[in-house]
Chains A and B, each alone.
Chain A
């Protein structure tokens, strides 16, 4: 069984065909040949639409188990596919949290419909930052990395123990830098905007001092840390220096941080209430530069679906988190005003895979065929009916959007949206 994706615009920095319009012949789930006028059992003409390696998400939350009404695994997978992802790492912050071998196996068993699920297992019991989980057992069951997900690892002693314990199998700790005391009552970034809105803010120094502390412990303990959800200019500078020093650190940024700033909160729209908070335009510009310079390794969706009962209420009572998947591809195209599409896609494909040390997937002859197909021109409105997610907590809801994912291909299976 073979088929040809004809007239595909290749977007893949690691491919010799990057930027070219070519035919791709797929045989038995692998790329057999790339060229012109290729023949196969079937031919699908992409008419010059972009074809990239499958998007890989390092950080997303579904609601199963515990909050299936926000997003169960089925709706999560459908939403991820609409966002162009072939691979999704799920954070352990479910109810109960993902902290046993059985939990990991349950998640992995639910892969399908074009999307492979990967488990980020809890680093501490209940993600509470107190006691270690059975890390070796979780690793054996297939967990790709360890994290307390939405919760920062506030406890320095636990951080030390996790870093030491993970070294048995060169495991990765993913942590969100935040000082729990400085961020205690925060609703948004602390700055001029929070002052005029009368809201408690989290100062940038909250992120910066946690990164500093974690780097010090990393120097002492060894191991490797991936800092997730960088949001401040100071944070980017710290990671840049740590990389130059040769420490085993990587980092990512959530897409929302590249698109929005604290100015977007002026209307008290709780859809913009995220954690870490949207920072200033200066921070956003430094994050963009961090992507260009390579300090930032990956872009994550930080998909966090919430029901109206958690979002359509007074700002300080609303939950943190944004539905990122429902408008994801369209948002990537909005971001092309600041970054090239091939660089954005690099940070969604090779970047996250290399953070986790996974094999490279590229549009190269002999590589595994795992693709995302995009239609950058199509216009559509995100609303009930067109929304693949169970949740509507997107600032783009009821807006006309441009661009979506046509579908994904992996494991010999093409699924269109």
Chain B
């Protein structure tokens, strides 16, 4: 396989394992490039990419922008704060206005699940989903699984637990799809109020006790408690959450094995994870950030070749 079957990256759900493998192999090459003194390649010269963010983002936007610049693309940025969205313009109008300026690819983050799918039915440019509400965040799942592969050699056969707010997390859903496609076993762990009722039907294990989850797994991907995305209270206090679902060094030391710790960031230190865990040798949190640029370069590069 030398190219993706689709012109958009809307989610992991519709990717084949071979396509994920192709993205990984491409990212391996770009990671080499990123470690050279001259980190830039001309692959996307004359390609214009718009980063359209209708929701706040710091690291994803930065990571995409860096990936685009390393590939020599022309980059424009749009974010909803202070833009015409607040004047009542529709998503379609906003994006069509940007496309009228001859943009080839759109990287979009939006608070509505399915927003990039909606857009893909109405516009011609390649679309990369940089997070759609509580649905998917495909590049995050790709960089997460890429990082597991890098640290442990292979994703297949690994036991991965995703801890925390699964209900409001696009990272969780994309990770579940990616991990399963690559042959890993997946468990979710958190208070039942933060786990989708039907998540078990996706073929993942469900565990309400953090110690049992950690005893089972090889890798723990700890999610941020999305305080801003909760429409109501799902647990009584951060204090209680951190006591019963937080991951600390004492808990990890009490296990008779070593597990890899991941976090998609930004971390609420002292809530879902303590500093001594986040900064320990078990943590690959900063590797995830580094790999994010290579993965996004690979996705941009592969999709740019799929223009109709």
Q: Which residue numbers of A lie inside 8 Å of B, CB to CB?
A: 184-185, 187, 190-192, 194-200, 203, 267-268, 309, 312-317
Chain B CB within 10 Å — which of A184, A203, A314, A317 has the most? A314
30 A-B residue pairings within 8 Å (CB atoms): A184-B231, A187-B113, A190-B197, A191-B198, A194-B198, A195-B173, A195-B202, A196-B13, A197-B135, A198-B134, A198-B136, A198-B170, A198-B173, A199-B134, A199-B135, A200-B134, A203-B197, A267-B117, A268-B113, A268-B118, A313-B90, A313-B92, A314-B115, A314-B118, A315-B112, A315-B113, A315-B118, A316-B112, A316-B113, A316-B114
**In the complex where A196-B173, A198-B132, A198-B133 touch, is A315 in contact with B114 (Cβ < 8 A)?**
yes
Q: Across the A-B interface, give the 7 residue pairs with the lowest CB-CB distance, nearest first.
A: A198-B135, A268-B114, A314-B112, A198-B113, A198-B134, A192-B201, A195-B198
Residues from chain A with a CB closer than 8 A to the CB of B110 are: 314
Determine the residue in chain B with the shortest Cβ distance to A190.
B197
**In the complex where A313-B90, A314-B118, A315-B118 touch, is A197 in contact with B201 (Cβ < 8 A)?**
no
Q: Are the C-beta atoms of A314 and B114 separated by less than 8 Å?
A: yes
Interface of A, secondary structure class, is: loop
Residues from chain A with a CB closer than 8 A to the CB of B47 are: none
Q: Are the C-beta atoms of B114 and A197 separated by less than 8 Å?
A: yes
Task: Kindly state the separation between the CA atoms of A198 and B171 in the bound complex, as whole angstroms.
Answer: 11
* Chain A CB within 8 A of B199 CB: yes
* Chain A CB within 8 A of B91 CB: yes
Chain A CB within 10 Å — which of B110, B112, B173 has the most? B112
Task: Kindly state the separation between the CA atoms of A194 and B113 in the bound complex, as whole angstroms.
Answer: 10
Determine the residue in chain A with the shortest Cβ distance to B112.
A314
Residues from chain B with a CB closer than 8 A to the CB of A191 are: 198
Residues from chain B with a CB closer than 8 A to the CB of A309 are: 90
Residues from chain B with a CB closer than 8 A to the CB of A267 are: 117
* Chain A CB within 8 A of B183 CB: no
Task: Kindly state the separation between the CA atoms of A267 and B116 in the bound complex, as whole angstroms.
Answer: 11
The smallest beta-carbon distance between A183 and chain B, in angstroms, is 13
Task: Kindly state the separation between the CA atoms of A185 and B167 in the bound complex, as whole angstroms.
Answer: 13
Question: Which residues from 1 to 40 on chain B have a C-beta closer than 8 Å to any C-beta of chain A?
Answer: 13
* Residue interface mask B226-246, A partner, CB < 8 A = 1: 000001000000000000000
Known: A184-B231, A268-B114, A268-B117. 13 other contacts (CB 8 A): A192-B202, A194-B198, A195-B199, A197-B135, A198-B133, A198-B134, A198-B170, A198-B173, A313-B92, A314-B112, A314-B118, A316-B112, A317-B112
Residues from chain A with a CB closer than 8 A to the CB of B157 are: none
Determine the residue in chain A with the shortest Cβ distance to B174.
A198
Residues from chain A with a CB closer than 8 A to the CB of B114 are: 197-199, 268, 314-316
Residues from chain B with a CB closer than 8 A to the CB of A268 are: 113-114, 117-118
